[in-house]
Amino acid sequence: EMLARVDVLCLDKTGTITKGKPWVNEMNWFVPEESNIKSILYTMEKSSEHPLADAIVDFIKNGSEFLKDLTIHNVTGQGVVGVYDSKKYFIGNEALLHQNGMNLSDDEKQWLVDQVSLARTVVFFFDESRVFAGISISDQLKDSSKNAIALLHNLDISCVILTGDNEQVAKVVAKEVGINRVYGNVLPAEKSAFIEKLQQDGKVVAMVGDGVNDSAALAQADVSIAMGKGSDIAMEVATMTI
């Protein structure tokens, strides 16, 4: 009954509009590659629940060792922090980099610009003093996304993309599927705040997502829809699961 009244449909990008089967295009080491450093990256991603982690694990699993005495914790919407041998290591987006007092060199910035211009998602692997590597990742659109969004527009339902991914990457995806309103670099709390603002303006809002990062927005929406191949928490929070 509530779905019939929906004015605005907010969509996550990865795993919702895209297939959620990312692969690594390029791993660029800015420092000489060391086996121990590679094993730290491998262990952190192997222990992570982020949808991009599996792609990185598959890319570097040969020649990498799983380190049992490494601990990690997730930084919501930004990446992962690991501790190994009393040292901190980070894997995440540019926001995580800046938050930890790190700045990219000119070469690193240029590599980032080049990758983002190709609509690739970029994550960095670094410690508290230097950037080890940049990793660029792609994900394909679902075959059904463009048609589904056209059908929604025909029903006078406004579609919005809310994603934690880079805004330029999000805009390329939005253009491909025919969505005009797109917001990138959005933290989970900002997704739910955006939906709450729409509701305060009198809109009936549905949210579609598949990740842990979507759970707050799913809980806030009038109708919440989770992807069946997504995270358990998204399916638990959502009104319905596809």
> Active-site residues: which are they?
12
Task: Give the containing element (helix H, strand E) for 139.
Answer: none
Q: Which of 103, 108, 70 is nearest to 88 (CA)?
A: 70
Alpha helix (H) residue ranges in 87-220: 94-99, 106-117, 145-154, 167-177, 188-200, 215-220
CA dist., res. 179 & res. 67, Å (int): 43
Amino acid in the structure at residue 82:
G
CA dist., res. 84 & res. 238, Å (int): 36
CA dist., res. 216 & res. 26, Å (int): 32
Three-state DSSP state, 131 = strand
Amino acid in the structure at residue 56:
I
